[in-house]
Amino acid sequence: MKLRPRSFRAKLLLLFVLVVVAAQFATWLIVSRAHRRQARDLIGEELLRAAMAFDRVVAERNELLAAAAAIAARGYEFKQLFAGDIDVPTLRSALPSLQIWTKASVVAALTVEAKLLASTSPAMVEGRVYDQLVARAEADPSPNQTAHGYGYFDGQLYSLAIAPVRAPEPVAWLVIGFRIDADFARTRKAETGIELTFFDHQHHPLATTLPPATVAALAPALPSLGESKLGVAVPLAGETALVATRRLPAGDGRFATLALQYSLDEKLRPAREAENLLLLTATGSLALAVFLSLSFAGHLTRPIEALVGHTRRIAAGDYRVRNTSYREDELGRLSEAFDQMSRGLAERDKVRDLLDKNVSPEVATQLLRDGAALGGQERAVTILFADLRGFTTLSENLTPPELLALLNRYLDRMSTAIESQGGVIDKFIGDAIMALFGAPVAQDDAPDRALAAAVAMERALVTLNTELAAEGIAPLAIGIGVNTARVVAGNIGSTRRLNYSVIGDGVNVASRLQSLTRTPEFHTNIITSAATLAACRQLPSPAGSPPAPTTRPLGTVPVKGRAEPVEIFAVG
């Protein structure tokens, strides 16, 4: 249900309140959006710097490991392990010393074909990760031929560096790596202030600085993030964070994902305090606006309420009401104009009431709109004439009051049938009716409407006769003539008294057709001309509407006062 203010005072109050609320809300919204945009930009920059810092740290560590591997590979004692047949047990025992010296997490030795010879961890099994490292190293144009990458061993993520063992050509490869674990993540967070989480290719966490609940909420969102560098807003454990992701290829077609996260809510906390202060100020402004608007609205609406009371009395038909005083402002001029309007309405109401009782509403509307000048215009109109048969005999058997009551009863039913089809009663001629279709308001389907009205009149008379029979009154009979022709329609009469009607040969034909309904051999109450049938639109009847009236040819008959005969048809 919509709540709408009904009084002008309430609307004025609502206007003031809406203006203040809109202004304050717009200010708050602009400030809030500026804060959020600034916070997102700052977080995006920090996330980008953190990602670059991670890349730099990994690159530096890999370079150190690769350099250490290259130094160790060039050592005489180490080269001797690969001279001739490789002594794998001795090689395996030598790798831990290299691991301690380089402070690496794992060390492995590979054949020149990238086959695993020995390692410091049983988790370092053969895989495509070695093939890819060797391929990248061989593609290195520098003399060192080093390379680095990532790999999974026993479900852990390692950053790996590789260097060749030369004698003087490469005879083996050394792989040195460090594990990316929680200590590594915490160290990076201490350096950048950014939360880090490493996920495996199945989005299981490998190392993180986040609480378990936050990690559990972050993992399902990773597929939709893609690889975003500046951060995407993600709801996590009751707050919104910006998350940037990096893919880390880890060999064997797998990858790891680094998720860098910064809480947007935390970044916005100082700004929100300022926004809350702004809202508090807006609330005070709103209270002041309500007070001022109530005072102003009361002063403004009192004369308007008086006008409302006068309007209601005028709506009830009392045009005598007048304002007792006028203010020296626009409202005073409005009151004076209101009084002039009420006097004009009184005069107009009298004129309209007289017109409505003496002419049809359509003619009254045209007279009020166009004036009462003599003249007319030629147009195609369908004319309907209806007459009671045996009215003279009926008049002899009824008293004048009874006759008048019966005639009015009959005319009311016939008028209703005509007007229901859009027809206009031109005049009542005793017991006869002259109706127009297509004037004064043009109608494309005037012939169809006229025939439908004739059939409706015939049916209405059947109903009326049933009622009359129950009252002991003899039934009535009707004759209806319908003709379509071009006639002159307009105001006819003198300069002092006029009547809207149509004149022309087509009017006489319609009247003569009505007279022909008395011919016994025709057996019909409705006769129309071929001109009317030719002008019918003959469209299919809409669903649910009565079927179009049927016609029966009656031949060609002479019409009194007309040289050419008329082809006529019975209707119904």
Query: Phi/psi of residue 250, each to 5°?
Result: -125, 25
Share of the chain above pLDDT 90, in %: 18
194-267: which CATH number, 3.40.50, 3.30.450, 3.10.110, 2.60.40? 3.30.450
CATH number belonging to domain 369-571: 3.30.70.1230
Domain segments of the chain: what residues? 13-179, 194-267, 369-571
Residue 106 has pLDDT above 90, yes or no: no
Distances (CA, A) of 218 to 49, 231, 244: 21, 13, 12
Q: H or E stretch including 464?
A: helix 446-470
Contact 211, 33 (CB under 8 A): no
Alpha-helical regions (H) of 398-445: 400-420
Across residues 425-441, what is the average pLDDT? 89
**How much of the chain is in helix, strand and coil states, percent to nearest 5?**
50, 25, 25
- Phi-psi category of residue 292: left, alpha or beta, with phi > 0 → left and psi -120 to 50 → alpha: alpha
pTM equals 0.45
* pLDDT at residue number 472: 86
pLDDT tens readout for residues 116-125: 888 888 878 7
* pLDDT at residue number 454: 95
Q: H or E stretch including 340?
A: helix 330-358
pLDDT tens readout for residues 505-522: 889 999 999 999 998 899
pLDDT tens readout for residues 209-252: 888 888 888 888 877 777 766 677 777 777 777 788 888 887 77
13-179: which CATH number, 3.40.50.300, 1.20.1440.230, 3.40.1440.60, 3.30.450.20? 3.30.450.20
Instruction: Quote the Cα angle for 309-311-312, to 5°.
Output: 65
* Residue 173 pLDDT grade (very low, low, confident, very high; cuts 50, 70, 90): confident
Cα–Cα dist 171/520, whole Å: 130
**Averaged confidence pLDDT in the chain:** 77
Across residues 5-19, what is the average pLDDT? 67
* Residue 360 pLDDT grade (very low, low, confident, very high; cuts 50, 70, 90): low
Residue 46 has pLDDT above 60, yes or no: yes
Residue 36 has pLDDT above 90, yes or no: no
Domain 13-179 and domain 194-267 have a common topology: yes
